[in-house]
Chain A
Amino acid sequence: MTTPLVEMKNVSIAFGGVRAVDNVSIELHAGEVVGLLGHNGAGKSTLIKMLSGAYKMDSGEIWIEGKRATINSPRDSRDYNIETIYQTLALADNLDAASNLFLGRELTTPMGFVDDSKMEAETRKIMARLNPNFKKLKEPVSALSGGQRQSVAIARAVYFNAKILIMDEPTAALGVHETAMVAELIGELKKQGLGIFLISHDTREMMDLCDRVSVMKNGQMIGTERVEDVTEDDILSMIILGKNPKSKT
Chain B
Amino acid sequence: MSDQSAPSPQPKRSFLQSLEVDTRLLGMIGAFLIVCIVFNLLTDGRFLTPRNVFNLTIQTVSVAIMATGMVFVIVTRHIDLSVGALLATCTAVMGMTQTAWLPQLFGLELGHPLIPWITIAIGLLTGAIIGAAQGWLVGYQAIPAFIVTLGGLLIWRNVGWWLTDGATIGPLDQTFILFGGINGTLGAFWSWVVGIVAAVLSLVAMWSARRTKTSHGFPVKPMWAEALIMAVVAGAILGFVAILNAYTVPSRVIARDPSLFGCDVAEGCVAAYGLPYSVLVLIAVAIVMTVIALRTRLGRYIFATGGNPDAAELSGINTRLLTVKIFSMVGVLSALAGIVASARLGYHTNDIGTLDELRVIAAAVIGGTALSGGVGTIYGAIIGALIMQSLQSGMAMVGVDAPYQNIVVGAVLVAAVWIDIQYRKRMGAK
Contact = CB atoms under 8 A, between A and B. Distances in A.
Contacts of A99: 300, 304
Interface stretch (B263-271, B312-320, B332-340, B388-396): B312-320
A94 B310 contact: no
A104 B428 contact: no
A114 B303 CA distance: 14
Contact of B308 (A52, A75, A92, A118): A92
Interface residues of A, number: 32
B115 interface: no
A92 B313 contact: no
A92 B312 contact: yes
A148 interface: no
Interface stretch (A82-90, A185-193, A210-218): A82-90
Contacts of A143: 428-429
Nearest to B75: A94
A50 B313 CA distance: 14
A140 B300 contact: no
Interface string A96-113: 000100011110100011
Interface residues of B, number: 31
A95 B430 CA distance: 12
Interface in B204-218: 212-213, 215-218
Interface in B287-313: 291, 295-297, 300-301, 303-308, 310-313
A121 B303 CA distance: 21
A167 interface: no
B297 A90 contact: no
B375 interface: yes
B315 A74 contact: yes
A92 B307 contact: yes
B314 A86 contact: yes
A135 B173 CA distance: 59
Nearest to B20: A138
A142 B314 contact: no
A117 B374 contact: no
Contacts of B304: 92, 95, 99, 103
A95 B297 contact: no
Interface of A: 52, 54, 73-75, 78, 84, 86, 88-95, 99, 103-106, 108, 112-114, 117-118, 120-121, 140, 142-143
Q: Which 3 A-B residue pairings sit nearest by Cβ, starting from the closest?
A: A94-B307, A75-B316, A104-B315
23 contacts: A74-B315, A74-B316, A84-B314, A90-B308, A90-B310, A90-B314, A92-B305, A92-B307, A92-B308, A92-B311, A93-B307, A93-B374, A93-B430, A94-B303, A94-B430, A99-B304, A114-B297, A117-B216, A117-B218, A118-B216, A120-B216, A121-B216, A143-B429
